[in-house]
Structure 1
Amino acid sequence: MNWQEQNILVVGAGKSGQAAARFLLRHGAAVTLTDKNINPPGPPVLQELQQKGARLALGEYPPVAGGGYTLVITSPGVPLSEPPLQEARQYGLPLWGELELAWRVTGAPVVAVTGTNGKTTTTTLLGEMSRAAGWRTLVAGNIGLPLVEEVENYGPGDLIVAEVSSFQLETALTFRPRVGLVLNLTPDHLDRHGSMENYAAAKARITLNQGPEDYLVLNHDDPWTRAMAPNTRARVIFFSRRHTLEQGVFVREGRVIARLGGREQEIMPASQIRLPGQHNLENALAALGAMLALSVPAATLAAVLRDFSGVPHRLESVAEIDGVLYVNDSKGTNPDASSKAVAAYDRPLVLILGGRNKGNDFLPLLQQAAPKLRALVVVGECRREIIQAARQAGISPVYEAADYRQVVELARRAARPGDVVLLSPACASWDMFRNFEERGEHFKQLVRALAGPEAAPPADTPGAG
């Protein structure tokens, strides 16, 4: 595309919108950056973009009609129902997401990871495996670094590992990963997608343009992901921790086995995978499937799995204080993610839940957690919903906190030596924080203050199965 001939409206001025605007300005396009939720003059980062030539339209959207726009690019956090996106479709203007923009200028093969839970862990793990295999590797996307920020710096001999969300995939038109992974599908973002069927359809767009030379890695144990197999032209690689597969990556008698291309090989004992929890065993199997498809030696992959301990804000051990382990799982932003965190521990739990509900039911999580709970601490916008579900699940005691300082204090009082205080909110963070990272960092600061300056962080997470 000749960007110098383009007049482009970028909708949403968060990380993705800023990255898209920077790329377009760098290539000579005329750029209008708009966000109805940011009042003028906007933060310094937007003012810097203005100084580089961007027109800012903050506080309200500019009309698309009469603007002379040739392309509209949307950030993933902007619903497709917003006026500029509706108008773009009405007037027949091309509508891309930042993912689609990045793909159009990508010169390297892409391994793309989606699913409800485990995306960040699996994406980070794949990045480590890729580097161990010798590739110059970019890890980006929904994981925090917008793809368009860096893709131009990578070429055919490199590898891009991208975390992609349902919001990003909604506006993907030509995106075609060499390997796509769909880890699992459980109810999430139903306030935006409206139904599980719509949510699954958005996730399935990861394979929309794949061909017979590409690969799609799917969770055989998840009916939603398994159902994608007949509808792709890519070569399917299943993974399973519950079943022995004719083709795929699976666990048999405690050992990880890959059976691909008519050849069976043992990768490693499952017990040697350092990541805690059965959900992380699934993430490891998925990553193995993707990397084996790219002909990475099994020994290289096993060495990474023995060493890789996880990512921040996902079952992250913060401190052990008076015999109580404090764990930050702030990335648990829906009940299914939190249920996996609860299942990872065989010790009594003081569980911290709450934030902004994304249209989910908390009762199944609380029913699962009830036998393990020493206490439940709730906080945030939807705490009354959680308290009601806790009563239905027969959970007691339940403590209600006004802020995270009180959360940590209530959890400290409730816990006994040998317990785990687990922050896994099952909710979005947007009622009190900018994102789950900020929530997790705040929790860690409070815990470390509680521990005192002499406290050392724990080693590997004890009690995780």
Structure 2
Amino acid sequence: MNIKDKKVLVVGAGKSGISVSRFLLRKGAMVLLTDNREKDKLGGALDELLEAGMQAELGSYPDVRGDTFDMVVVSPGVPPSVPPLVSARQYGIPVLGELELAYRFASAPMVAITGTNGKTTTTTLVGEIFRMAGLRTLVGGNIGLPLVDVVEDYGPKDIIIAEVSSFQLETANHFKPRVAVVLNITPDHLDRHGSMEGYIEAKARIFARQGPEDFTVLNYDDPGTRALAGATSGKVIFFSRKHNLEEGVLVRGDMIAVRHKGIDTDIIPPREVAIPGVHNLENALAAVAAAFALGVRPEVLARILRSFPGVAHRLETVAQKDGVLFVNDSKGTNPDASIKALKAFDRPIVLLAGGRNKGSDFSEFARLIKQKVRVLVVLGECAGEVERAARAAGCNNVLKAPGFREAVLMAHASAKPGDVVLLSPACASWDMFNNFEERGDLFREIVLNL
């Protein structure tokens, strides 16, 4: 892809937009970065790019016509309805995202992982597996490191493990990973995609250009994900913790096994998988499928599954104080993720929930709250919505916090020895924080200072 001397509009001045602008400048493009926020609301990285020759239009968007730009690169958080993107599509100007741009310059094979929940844990786990297998491994994408920053440092003998979101996949046109993994699909981001059909369509773009030499790893236990098998041209590898698959990765009695052409290869007993919870067993099965497809040996898989501790902000133990366990699950940004977190504990829970709703229904979440939660502390933009759902399900021990710090202190005051204080908001963090990491970090800081 030749972008030297091309006029490129970059829409969105967050982490992704800054990385894209830096990359394009290195390639000799003429870059205009735009954001509807003013400069004082953005980070200091802009100054360095402006000195390097980038132009910026901040606080409003520029007019886009057929002759103004050769290409538009959009950040994942920018909705497709903003004026420059609408105009670009009308004039036939190519619109792509950072993931697609990075892919165009990648020479290493790629394992791409998506799903409503479990992406970060599985991506990190797969990365550890390939590192242990001796490959030079890049782990990035939606997990925090924009691929475009370092993608050219990796060659055909290396491997890239990428977490990819539905937002990133919306603008994927040539993207074709060697292995595409879809962990699960449950309602999320419906405010962006408009419907479950739109959300599933975005997720399915992960394998849309795969061929018979590629692999598509799908969760057999999730009906929506299983149904995607007929839409891919890649070799389908199912994983299941519930079914006795004819072919795929399964739990057979007391053993995780890979079944291929009638032969079972044992990996490890499920009880020896280090990360807790049945949802993490599913993540482990998906990781085994992705790595085994590319020839990683069973003993390497077993070694990593026994030692991998999980990731920050996902059922992360923060502290044990006076018999109370404090757990950070800030990455629980939708009801299904938080349902999985609640199911991971068999002791009374004091739950902190609420934030910005992404179009979710809280009724199923509320029914489990009634069963598992002793005290519910609601907070954030949709605190009232979560409270109403909980009370409708019969949960009456509900406290409403005016802010995040107060919520943690109220949960602490309500907890008894033997309880879990669990931050698993079932909502996005954007009403109070820039991201879920910031929310989880503050939870950790407050707990450690109690």
Q: Cα distance 1:218–1:417, how it changes in 2: closer, same or farther (>3 A)?
A: same
Match in the other structure for 2:14: 14
Q: Which amino acid aligns with 1:276?
A: P
Please tell me whether the aligned partners of residues 369 and 395 of structure 2 are also in contact (alpha carbons under 8 angstroms).
no
TM-score for the superposition, normalised by structure 2: 0.98
Partner of 2:203: 203
SS of the equivalent of 1:21 reads: helix
Deviation at 1:410, TM superposition (A): 1.0
Following TM superposition, by how much is the alpha carbon of 1:38 offset from its aligned partner in structure 2, in angstroms? 3.4
In the alignment, is the contact (CA less than 8 A) between 1:213 and 1:235 conserved in 2? yes
Secondary structure of the equivalent of 1:22? helix
CA distance in 2, matches of 1:283, 1:42: 36
Structure 2: distance between partners of 1:195 and 1:171: 18
TM-score by length of 1: 0.95
- 1:388 matched to which residue of 2? 388
Which digits, 9 at most, give the CA deviation of each residue in 1:80-137, with x for residues without a partner?
A: 1111111111011111111110000001000000000000000000000010000000
Unaligned runs of 5+ in 1: 451-465
Match of 2:255 in 1: 255
Moved more, 116-125 or 252-261: 252-261
Calculate the aligned-residue CA RMSD, in Å.
1.1
CA contact (8 A) 1:348 1:372 kept: yes
1:265 to 2:275 alignment: no
Q: Quote the offset at 1:262 in angstroms.
A: 3.7
The amino acid of 1:245's aligned partner reads L
**Cα distance between partner residues in 1 of 2:172 and 2:271:** 38
User: C-alpha distance in 2, partners of 1:445/1:67?
Assistant: 51
Q: Distance in 1 between matches of 2:291 and 2:261?
A: 14
SS at match of 1:417: coil
With 404-413 and 7-16 compared, the bigger mean Cα shift is at 404-413
Secondary structure of the residue that 1:313 maps to in structure 2? coil
Match of 1:122 in 2: 122
Residues 306-330 of structure 1: CA deviation (Å, up to 9, x unaligned): 0001000000000000000000000
Map 1:160-179; keep pairs closer than 5 Å.
160-179=160-179
* Map of 1:429 onto structure 2: 429
Q: Which residue of structure 2 lines up, in the alignment, with residue 300 of structure 1?
A: 300
Secondary structure of the equivalent of 2:381? Answer: coil
- Supply the AA of the counterpart residue of 2:112: A
Aligned partner of 2:373 in structure 1 is: 373
On the 8 A contact 2:352/2:424 being kept in 1, the answer is yes
The offset of 1:223, in angstroms, is: 1.0
Question: 1:36, 1:413 → 2: CA distance?
Answer: 42
Quote the Cα distance in structure 2 between the aligned partners of 1:184 and 1:46: 37
Q: Distance in 2 between matches of 1:192 and 1:101?
A: 22
Instruction: Name the structure 1 match of 2:184.
Output: 184
Residue 46 of structure 1 deviates from its aligned partner by 1.0
Deviation at residue 402 of structure 1 after TM alignment: 1.0
* Cα deviation digits, residues 174-230 of structure 1 (max 9, x gap): 000000000000000000101111100100000111000000000001111111101
Aligned residues of 1:41 and 1:47 also touching (Cα < 8 A): no
What's the counterpart of residue 310 of structure 1?
310
Report the alpha carbon displacement of residue 42 of structure 1 after superposing the two structures with TM: 4.5
CA 1:411–1:335 in structure 2 vs 1: closer, same or farther (change >3 Å)? same
1:37 correspondence with 2:37: yes
1:42–1:58 CA contact under 8 A, matched in 2: no
Q: Which runs of 5+ in 2 are unaligned?
A: none
User: 1:157 and 1:321 mapped to 2: Cα distance?
Assistant: 48
Matched AA of 1:145? L
Q: Please give the secondary structure, in 2, of the residue aligned with 1:421.
A: strand
Report the CA distance between 1:255 and its aligned residue. 1.3
Kept after mapping to 1: 8 A contact 2:335/2:360: yes
For the residue of structure 1 that corresponds to 2:201, the secondary structure is: helix
The verdict on how the C-alpha distance between 1:164 and 1:41 changes in structure 2, with shifts beyond 3 A counting, is closer
- What residue is the counterpart of 1:349 in the other structure? 349
Q: Which residue of 1 aligns with 2:443?
A: 443
Q: SS at the partner of 2:411?
A: helix
Change in 2 beyond 3 A, CA 1:41/1:418: closer
CA distance in 2 between counterparts of 1:66 and 1:105 reads 26
Q: Does 1:158 align with 2:158?
A: yes
Percent identity, please: 60
Cα gap change, 1:357 to 1:212, in 2 (>3 Å): same
2:246 is paired with a residue of what secondary structure? coil
